[in-house]
Amino acid sequence: MSRKYFGTDGIRGRTNADKLTAELAMRVGQAAGAHFLRGDHRHRVVIGKDTRLSGYMMESALVAGFTSVGMDVVMTGPLPTPAIAMLARELRADLGVMISASHNPYEDNGIKLFGPDGYKLSDADEMVIETLMEQGVPLVDATEVGRARRIDDAPGRYIHAAKQSIPADVRFDALKVVLDCANGAAYQVAPAAIWELGAKLVTIGNAPNGTNINAGVGSTSLDAVKAKVVETGAHVGLALDGDADRLIVVDERGDTVDGDQLMALIATELQAAGQLRGGGVVATVMSNLGLERYLAGIGLALERTKVGDRYVLERMREGGFNLGGEQSGHMILADHATTGDGLVAALQILAALVRSGKQASELLHLFDTVPQLLRNVRYGGGAPLEAAGVKAAIASAEVELNGSGRLVIRPSGTEPVIRVMAEGDDAAQVERVVESICEAVRAAA
């Protein structure tokens, strides 16, 4: 059964257009609240948000929805997504909700849901919630309407938990760090945590105004952090995204270090300490073949899932892995978090730099990437991947690669876009096959 509202990472869209309105948010609150009214205890939901202008509207609508079905609401204000997952467990809540569209521009927003264990909801739970949204749910009697309150100490709780992910004797006094908070959810907590650990800190993207989240800053807009690293002579740059569940690193030369290289380093560190579980790393089909080859060279496996950190985490839990992530910068360290956590990942990288005494350009480039090309083709409607011309182009590309590379074609889970990726040892061949498929998709769209 196809899903109407939920994509690969919750519900996301342009505010007051598409599907994302206050009315929809209220229905999400009612449906999710009704679904998690289990047992006879007083039920509770934790709601956090990033710094988008529409966050106020979405928060109010969700509060109305949850309280109308009898759930109490705890609001935290702007906090990273992993902080809400953590607080859902710590506050013994029945649900956690993060209002964010991650790395998207401020005009978009989204709703991510976490269960009482701090993990993102399963596809089955999301389908039940969608059904309840369509059917409607009974509202409670006036005497049973939920209460809502804000808590002030949530940032400190998260900062403490993040710092606990590294040994107590590790300090960052020797490091000069540029931190880009994307004018997003981590604009207060990330600088505080890294400063408290002793780093000389240069912070950018930490002045949100409701409309500048991810605007020229953050993990998908690296020019600002690269320039600041070079300008200030910093040892390393750290770029978070709007809800701080992603991390991209910039070395002292201003070169990008993506999630694949970060996974390689963290896996190497954990293996050396005897702390890596599962015999390898879980990543998605988008991770570079170079990572797979590097891990194989040190006796570790790379298990791949479909795109989405929730699917990475599901496989990690099934197989007993404690490290997984995405090339885009989602880093899941299961010993410390139940979802991607950019700040926790950043602390691991800084700790590794301190321990090694090496420059970031040496420590964070453990393998040469195989030529990889990803292009996005926007379409107006229909199902381009079902077109005969597109199927023929894909088949032809697979024949041409002939086992020497990989081809990944998939529709986006959040927008009308077909993503076409290929990789192999011959860069010219990779570009040729990607363009041939893109042309076929454009013709069919």
Q: Grade residue 7 by pLDDT with cuts at 50, 70 and 90.
A: confident
User: Residue 400: is its pLDDT beyond 80?
Assistant: yes
DSSP state of 371: P
- 340-372 residue pLDDT tens: 999 999 999 999 999 999 999 999 999 999 999
102 counts as catalytic? yes
Integer angstrom CA distances of residue 124 from 35, 121, 221, 351: 12, 8, 35, 39
pLDDT > 80? residue 255: yes
pLDDT digits (tens, 9 = 90+) for 80-106: 999 999 999 999 999 999 999 999 999
Largest CA distance in the chain: 69
pLDDT of residue 404: 78
Whole-angstrom distance, CA of residue 282 vs CA of residue 305 = 7
| Mean pLDDT value across residues 396-405 | 86
Strand ranges (DSSP E) for 295-353? 301-305, 323-325, 331-333
For the chain, the distance separating the N- and C-terminal CA atoms, rounded to the nearest angstrom, is 24
CB 270 within 8 A of CB 297: no
Distances from the Cα of 200 to the Cαs of 102, 167, 240, in angstroms? 27, 19, 18
The pLDDT value given to residue 18: 73
Least confident of 183-197, 239-253, 301-315, 409-423: 409-423
pLDDT of 381 reads 78
pLDDT digits (tens, 9 = 90+) for 288-318: 999 999 999 999 999 999 988 889 999 999 9
Which range among 130-144, 263-277, 376-390 shows the weakest confidence by mean pLDDT?
376-390
Q: Is the pLDDT of residue 380 over 90?
A: no
Q: How far is CA 31 from the centre of its chain?
A: 24
SS3 303: strand
pLDDT at 1: 53
Q: What is the SS3 assignment for 177-232?
A: EEEECCCCCCCCHHHHHHHHCCCEEEEECCCCCCCCCCCCCCCCCCHHHHHHHHHH
User: From the candidates 102, 219, 287, 328, which is the catalytic residue?
Assistant: 102
User: Six-digit token pair at 226?
Assistant: 């690269």
pLDDT mean across residues, the chain: 95
Map out the domains of the chain with their CATH numbers: 11-152 (3.40.120.10), 170-363 (3.40.120.10), 372-444 (3.30.310.50)
Query: For 203-251, what is each residue's pLDDT tens digit?
Result: 999 999 999 999 999 999 999 999 999 999 999 999 999 999 999 999 9
Q: What local confidence, expressed as pLDDT, does residue 98 receive?
A: 98
Q: How confident is the model at residue 402 (pLDDT cuts 50, 70, 90)?
A: confident
| pLDDT digit string, tens, across residues 134-162 | 999 999 999 999 999 999 999 999 999 99
Q: How confident is the model at residue 416 (pLDDT cuts 50, 70, 90)?
A: confident
Q: Measured between alpha carbons, how far is 309 from 117 in angstroms, rounded to an integer?
A: 17
Q: Kindly report which listed range (36-40, 43-47, 103-107, 166-170) carries the lowest average pLDDT score.
A: 36-40
